[in-house]
A and B are shown apart, each in its own frame.
Chain A
Amino acid sequence: MKQIKKIGFWFLVLFLLILICLPGIWIFVSAFRPNPEILAKPANWIPDRWTLHQFTQMFSINGYVSVPAFKYLMNSVIISSVSTVIAITIGMMGGYAFARFNFKGKNKIFLSLMLARAVPGISLSLPLFILFAKVGIINTSFGVILVYVAMNVPFTIWLTDGFFRQIPKEMSEVARTDGCTRFQAFWNVELPLAGPGIGAAAIFAFLLSWNEYALASILTRTVHSKTLPIGMMDYLDEFTINWAGMCAIAVVMIIPALILTFIVQKHLVSGLTFGGVKG
C-alpha cells in the first residue's frame, strides 16, 4: 500500500512537471526546425531535420539579417543591467534606512512605495508615452531604463529591507564600538552579511526588466532601443508568422533568465544562516 502511494505520488509529480515544461520544450524544439514542420498536424515532437538556420540568420552569420537580434540582445543587456544596478543601489540604501532608522512617516512612506508597485504598469503606458514624447526621450534606452528603475526600486527596497532586518542590530552596534563609523559598519559588516540577499534582489530586478514587455512595446520604436521581447514581434508579418524565428529569439532570451533563476533559487533556499548570534 505504501509502495503504491509512493509510485502514485511520483507519477503525479511527473505529470505536473511535463505540464509545466511542455511550452518550454516546444519552444526549444521549434527553434531548431523549419517553419512548416512546426505547423505540421499531427504535431511532430521530434524534428526530422535539425537546423541552426534561424540563429545564423538572426545573428547575420551568413550575411543575411532577418531580425537584428544582436542589437536587441545588446539593448536588453544594457537596459536590464543598468536599471538593475541603479535600482539595487537605491534599493539597498532605502532598504537599510527602513530597516535601521526611525523617522517621521516611515510606515506611510513604505506603504506608498508598495502601493506604487501595485499599480499595473500598463495603465501608466499612455501618460508615460506622452510625457516621454514631449521630453524627447521616447525610443531611447535612457527612457526605458528610467521606467524600469522606477518600477524596480520599491521592489528592491522591500526585499533588502527584509534582509537587513534579519541581521541583528547588535552587529552594527558592536562594529561602531569597535571603532567604525556608521558607514564603515554598514560596509564592513552589514553589507557582507546581507550580500546573498541583495544579490538575489538584484537578480529578481534584472529578470523583471529582462522580461518586461508591455511598457517597452510602447516606449521603444526602432532598433535603436527595442529589447528582445519587443524584437520578437519583428517576426510578425502582415500575412505570415515566422514561428521558428520567434522560438529562436525566445531561446536566446530564456537562457540567461534560466541561469539567473537557478542562482536565485539557490540563494533563496540556502537563505541567510548566521553563526555569530545565538538563535
Chain B
Amino acid sequence: MAKVELKNLTKKYGDVVAVQNMDLTIPHNEFLVLVGPSGCGKSTTLRMIAGLEEISGGEIFIGDQKVNEKDPKDRNVSMVFQNYALYPHMTVEENLGFSLKIAKVNPDEIEAKVQDAVNILGLEDLRKRKPSQLSGGQRQRVAMGRAIVRRPDAFLFDEPLSNLDAKLRTQMRTEIKKLHQKLKTTVIYVTHDQVEAMTLADRIIIMKDGFIEQIGSPIDVFSNPVNVFVATFIGSPPMNIIECEITKSNDQIMIKLDNDILVHCPKEKIAKLADLKKVIVGIRAEDIVPVKSFSNEQKSLWAFSKAIDLAEPLGTETQLFFKLQNQEIISRMYNPRPVDVGENINFQIETNKIHFFNYETKKAI
C-alpha cells in the first residue's frame, strides 16, 4: 500500500550518466512499465529503487518515507530477477518462506503465507522440489511467489520473462497481469520488449540514454508518439518512417512521398509545415491500406500505387513490403490473397492517421 516517488533521480558511473534527473510519481496500485533499448537506464532506475545501486543525486520515496539511505531490507520492496535467482540449496517452500524466516515470523504463520502463495501460483506439487528440478516457467513462478509472500509495498520486476520461450512468455505475461489484479500492489516492471510493455502497463515510460522520452498510457504512446524514437520503438512492425521534401506548387503545399508521388499536405498541418523544407512522415503499417480501387468518399486520403518487393503471408494478414524514398515500407493486408512480387497495388492512407515529425529535432509536429 504505497506510492513510489522519484525526485530528480540521477545515477552516474564516473563521467557516464546512466539516469538523468528523473522525476516520477507512481501512485498506489499502478502497473508501471519502464521500457527502452538496452543501456537506457531502466534497470539502473529499478535497482536504485530497490536499494541495490547507490544513487548519485535526487531522492526516492516509498510511501511517505525517504529511503535514500535505507538498506534494501528496510525498503519493503520485492524484486524478481531476469535469471530468477532462486536459492539453489533450498526447496521451493524454503525459497518461498525464506524472507519470513529472516524476519523471524513464527512457523505457523510462515506455513500459512507460503500455502497462500502456493495456491495463488499453483505450485502445490512442487513444494518439496529443488530449483534445479523445475522448468523455466516453474522457476519463474517460484520467483514470483517468493516476492508475493512478503506482501511488499511494491513489486519490482527486472525483465522477468526474457529467459522464457515465446509461448511461455505469453502465458506468464497473462499470469503477471492477473496477479496484479488480485494483489493490488504497485508494480514497477522493466522490459525491453514493447509488446510486454503494451499489454501489461497502466502507464508506460519510454526511456533512452537515461532520459524519459515519453510517459503515458499504452494507447496514448502508441497513437501519439512525441518523437521518432518512441514512434519506431512502440508498435510491431515498427512505424514506417519516410523522410520527405516539402514542395509548393500553385500555392499548395505538397509532400513528396516518392519521386513520382506527390500528395497534399493535410489541411490541419498546413500552418505548421508551410515553412519547412523537409519533414519526417510516420505511418503505421496497418494505416497503409491496400485497396482494389481508390475510394471517392469525402475523407481526406493519400492514394498511390506501388510495385511490391516482397509479400509475407502470416495467416490473418499478409505483410507487403515496398519502397518509398528508398526506405523499406511495410503495409498490412487484412484480407489476404496471393500477391505476386512486382504486382502493382493501390494503397490509401487516411491523413488523420499520419504522424509528422520535425526533420531536425525529430519531435512530433
Partner of A275, one of B51, B72, B78, B132: B132
Partner of A168, one of B83, B98, B131: B83
How many A-B pairs have beta carbons closer than 8 Å: the answer is 86
Size band of the interface chain B makes with A? 20 to 34
Known contacts A184-B102, A275-B134, A276-B88; A177/B83 CB under 8 A: no
Q: Which of A116-124, A142-150, A155-163, A185-193 contacts B (4 or more CB under 8 A)?
A: A185-193
- In the assembly, what is the distance between CA of A275 and CA of B83, in Å? 11
Verify A179–B99 contact, CB threshold 8 A. yes
Verify A170–B89 contact, CB threshold 8 A. no
Partner of B73, one of A171, A177, A189: A177
Known contacts A178-B102, A181-B71, A278-B139; A173/B52 CB under 8 A: yes
- What residues on A are CB-neighbors of B103 within 8 Å? 179
Partner of A277, one of B51, B71, B77, B84: B84
B347 CB to closest chain A CB, in angstroms? 45
Verify A173–B89 contact, CB threshold 8 A. no
Q: What residue of chain B has the Cβ atom nearest to residue A274's Cβ?
A: B88
Interface residue total, chain A, C-beta cutoff 8 A: 24
Verify A179–B73 contact, CB threshold 8 A. yes
- In the assembly, what is the distance between CA of A176 and CA of B77, in Å? 10
Partner of A180, one of B73, B85, B132: B73
The proximity string for B residues 36-64 relative to A, scoring 1 for CB distances below 8 Å and 0 otherwise, is 00000000000000111000000000000
Verify A174–B102 contact, CB threshold 8 A. no
Q: Name which of B51, B77, B85 has the most chain A CB atoms within 10 A of its CB.
A: B85
Verify A181–B87 contact, CB threshold 8 A. no
Partner of A176, one of B72, B133, B150, B163: B72
Known contacts A276-B87, A278-B163; A173/B79 CB under 8 A: yes
- In the assembly, what is the distance between CA of A168 and CA of B86, in Å? 11
- In the assembly, what is the distance between CA of A127 and CA of B195, in Å? 70
Judged by a CB distance under 8 angstroms, whether B146 is at the interface is yes
Known contacts A171-B85, A278-B84; A178/B99 CB under 8 A: yes
Starting from the known contacts A173-B50, A176-B71, A275-B131, 5 additional A-B residue pairs (CB-CB under 8 Å) come to: A179-B73, A181-B73, A276-B86, A277-B84, A277-B85
- Interfacial residues, chain A to chain B (CB-CB below 8 A): 168, 170-171, 173-182, 184, 188-189, 192-193, 273-278
